[in-house]
Amino acid sequence: MSPSQGHDKKRCSIAAVVALVAVVLIAAACTSPRNALGPTDSPCFRAIPVAHAAVNDKGHFAGVRYLSVKDLAAALKTAQKFLSRHLSIPPALRQTKSAICVVAYGGRFSTSDVALGWEPTGRPGSLALVVVRVPNVGVIATIITKRPPLRLTRFLPPFA
C-alpha cells in the first residue's frame, strides 16, 4: 500500500465522520426542545391525574382540551340552544381568570359521583367534563352531560 492510499482512506474516514455529525446535528435541530405531543394541549398533562381523581377513578378517558373560560362559556352557551331550560354557569367557573383544561371521562356520572359536580340538564349523564385550572392545577367544576359541548383532543389511550 502506498502512502497516498493511506491518506485517501484517512480522508474518506474523516469525511464520513463529518457527514455523520452533520446529519445528527441537522436532525437534532428539527426536534422540539420540549417533550410534548401538542403545543396547545401540553399544559393539560398535569391536569389529567387531578381530573381522574375528581371522577373518583370512574369511567374511561375520553379526551382533553386546553382553552380559556371564555371559550368554554361560549361552547356551553351554544349547547344551551339544545336544552329545554336556561343554563346558569357555576360562579366558580365564571370567576376564573386563568386558562383551563377540560378533561373528559365517559361512563355513568351524577353530581354525587364527582368533585364539584354540576348537571346543566338536571339529570345524570354519560360524560364528565372536569374543568381544571392551569398552571396552578386545581378542579374548578365537573360538568355532567350526555354530549361534549366542544371538540376534545384525544392523545392518550383510554384508562381501564
Residues 137 and 91 in one domain: yes
> What does the mean pLDDT of the chain come to?
78
Q: What span, in angstroms and rounded, lies between the C-alpha atoms of 125 and 107?
A: 8
Cell of 109: 356520572
Return the pLDDT at 20: 62
Question: Residue 107 falls within a domain, yes or no?
Answer: yes
Per-residue pLDDT tens digits for 23-74: 555 555 554 444 434 556 578 889 999 999 999 999 999 999 999 888 888 8
Residues 26 and 49 in one domain: no
How many domains, the chain? Answer: 2
Residues 66 and 91 in one domain: yes
Reported pTM: 0.69
Residues 95 and 137 in one domain: yes
Per the structure, the complete domain to which residue 5 belongs is given by: 1-31
CA count, 13 A, side-chain hemisphere, 48? 18
Question: Residue 76 falls within a domain, yes or no?
Answer: yes
Q: Of residues 59 and 148, which shows the higher confidence score?
A: 59
Q: What span, in angstroms and rounded, lies between the C-alpha atoms of 43 and 34?
A: 12
Question: Residue 156 falls within a domain, yes or no?
Answer: no
Residues 82 and 54 in one domain: yes
Q: Of residues 143 and 16, which shows the higher confidence score?
A: 143
Residues 11 and 61 in one domain: no
Residues 62 and 136 in one domain: yes
Residues 63 and 128 in one domain: yes
Question: Residue 24 falls within a domain, yes or no?
Answer: yes
Instruction: Map residue 52 onto helix, strand or coil.
Output: helix
Residues 74 and 115 in one domain: yes
